[in-house]
Amino acid sequence: MSGTIRLKHLCVGRAEYGLNIPAEQYKEEGLRLIRTTDVTEAGDLTPPESGVYVSREDASSLALANGDVLLSRSGTLGRCLVYKSQRHGPCTFAGYLVRFRLRDGYDPRFIFYCSHSHFFRDQLALESIQSTIANFNAEKYANLPLPDWSSEASQRAISDFLDAETARIDALIEKKREIAALTAARYNAAIDALAQHEAPMTIRLKRVARIAYGLGQPPPLSDDGVPIIRATNIDRGRMKSDDLIRARLEDLPLERAPLLAEGEILVVRSGALTGDSAAITGEWIGSVPGYDLRVTPQAVEPRFLAHQLLGRFVQGQVDVIKSRAAQPHLNADELGDILIRHADLTTERSVADLLDSQRSSTQELQLALARQIDLLAEHRQALITAAVTGELDLSEAG
């Protein structure tokens, strides 16, 4: 490697922005219009059925050619796709993507791997830090310095090595994700099996719990104050503090949305996470119900109900409700009409104890698997960085 070279010096012509075309002009067939959301972190496209299409006439000169490199300039900043005509079919690209077409003698896979390196991601963060939203224009991309491997053979050797090594790491990550999914499935199966065996009677949720909405309108936000729990903070029975927002107590409409008490349950009412839920425990007592559904158990053991809401028996009913609308949605009346298992409180508490233990062991294993996945992802990025910068001697790596 001989120093660095700017991305624009590896390319034929200037970087190009994609089409700005309204949804009204989408077609049922034609060229697939690749959007930022269509490009996966792994550098592939989402399935064709999730895509949108435009006519060849609308695409004009922006049809993609084999080996074109697309970089996302907003939202999924830095995400990269190497277009492969045989794999991806006829495509063009949307305005929040930037196209680079490499000169002969440069392997587009090498650029893809550079986009996954520490130095590339660090440069994006540094250059965009002054922007209020993550945005990176074509000129900034074009001027990014990359490791200068002028030999195509060297680029190919690095890319071939990384193809094999990242595939191996990705397979390990996928295996751990499968194990995590199996542990979740085992917990879900335990919910339904125990509830059905010990509490065979069914009853509508509204008969044993009060269901209400959270905040109608967002209050003024504050850097400190009372946590507001939103759908993004709810994850399969547990609360997450990621992207948590807060408001001052005096700004909250407590007469309409009182602070949450232990044992209450929040159920996501709209969007991709519709039907997910979590109970209020520990540090979340005294938080504010966000914009979702609030379930207050009255004639049911709260823990028993919280487990059931995550089980297949209830989730199957939620799926039917969601399928009735163009956008997933669940209102208070619909949730109240859902059937749950019911028994005497002593039985419900006994079942809840068993399910608490099952969930605890499940979550411990899932957290351990998540840490392993994070370590593998860090190793993957470090390996890519070392390979493309020449820190790793590939003659010894094999």
HEC states along the chain? Answer: CCCEEEHHHHECCCCEECECCCHHHCECCCEEEECHHHECCCCCECCHHHCEEECHHHHHHHCCCCCCEEEECECCCCCEEECCHHHHCCEEEECCEEEECECCCCCHHHHHHHHCCHHHHHHHHHHHCCCCCCECCHHHHHCCEEECCCCHHHHHHHHHHHHHHHHHHHHHHHHHHHHHHHHHHHHHHHHHHHHHHHCCEEEEHHHCEEEEECCCCCCCCECCCEEEECHHHEECCEECCCCCEEECHHHCCCCCCCCCCCCCEEECCECCCCCCEEECCHHHCCCEECCCEEEEECCCCHHHHHHHHHCHHHHHHHHHHHCCCCCCECCHHHHHCCEEEECCHHHHHHHHHHHHHHHHHHHHHHHHHHHHHHHHHHHHHHHHHHHHHCCCCHHHHC
The Cα-based distances of 327 to 74, 200, 273, 319, 322 in angstroms read: 25, 33, 11, 12, 8
* Same domain, yes or no: 210 and 313: yes
Last residue of a domain, one of 88, 121, 148: 148
Q: In the prediction, which pLDDT does 394 show?
A: 82
* Same domain, yes or no: 314 and 205: yes
Q: In the prediction, which pLDDT does 391 show?
A: 92
Positions in the chain short of pLDDT 70: 1, 128-135, 396-398
In a domain, 214, yes or no: yes
* Same domain, yes or no: 24 and 99: yes
Q: In the prediction, which pLDDT does 129 show?
A: 60
**Residue 270: CB partners within 8 Å, gap ≥ 6?**
231, 292, 327, 328, 329, 330
Q: In the prediction, which pLDDT does 320 show?
A: 94
In a domain, 293, yes or no: yes
In a domain, 80, yes or no: yes
In a domain, 267, yes or no: yes
Last residue of a domain, one of 148, 179, 211: 148
In a domain, 232, yes or no: yes
* Same domain, yes or no: 122 and 231: no
Q: In the prediction, which pLDDT does 130 show?
A: 54
Domain range for 224: 200-342
* Same domain, yes or no: 144 and 207: no
In a domain, 216, yes or no: yes
The Cα-based distances of 13 to 18, 101, 160, 219 in angstroms read: 15, 8, 27, 50
- CATH number of the domain encompassing residue 307: 3.90.220.20
Last residue of a domain, one of 300, 325, 342: 342
* Same domain, yes or no: 35 and 135: yes
* Same domain, yes or no: 105 and 205: no
In a domain, 164, yes or no: no
Q: What is the pTM of this model?
A: 0.81
* Same domain, yes or no: 222 and 138: no
For residues 39 and 70, the answer to whether their CB atoms sit within 8 Å is yes
Domain count, the chain: 2
Using left for φ > 0, alpha for ψ between -120 and 50, and beta otherwise, residue 75 falls in: left
* Same domain, yes or no: 143 and 206: no
* Same domain, yes or no: 124 and 212: no
* Same domain, yes or no: 122 and 254: no
In a domain, 364, yes or no: no
* Same domain, yes or no: 323 and 230: yes
